[in-house]
Amino acid sequence: MKNLQQGDVLLIAIRDIPVGAKVVRKDKIAFGEITGHSHTARGVIVMEREGREYLDVPKDNKITHEDHPTVKLPAGRYEIRIQQEYFPTGERNVRD
């Protein structure tokens, strides 16, 4: 398994989702704050524990987004990270 990226979303391959993670949504991996577009993969489950989000992909899939090329998404488990921008006054998530 390898890490994947689509736009500002980075998926880091992990062995297991932490015990105690709770389901927070299905199909939508991440949302665009400005455009309203989303990084989507049908049949995936997003879970959260202690402020971190994880993605469970039961079977090979693909990530779609209105502004980015489609990305192949192999079955597995991933930690979801959003790319950061750095400024002299601090950092913030990239807004897609």
Beta-bridge partner residues of 64: 40
Question: Are 13 and 80 a contacting pair, CB within 8 Å?
Answer: no
Residue 39 identity: H
pLDDT tens for each residue of 60-77: 999 999 888 999 999 999
pTM: 0.84
Q: In 3D, which of 90, 81, 77 has the Cα closest to residue 44?
A: 77
Domain encompassing residue 64? 4-93
Q: What is the pLDDT of residue 93?
A: 57
H or E element that contains 61: strand 61-65
Both tokens assigned to 53? 């989000």
Number of domains observed in the structure of the chain: 1
Rounded CA separation 53/89 (Å): 26
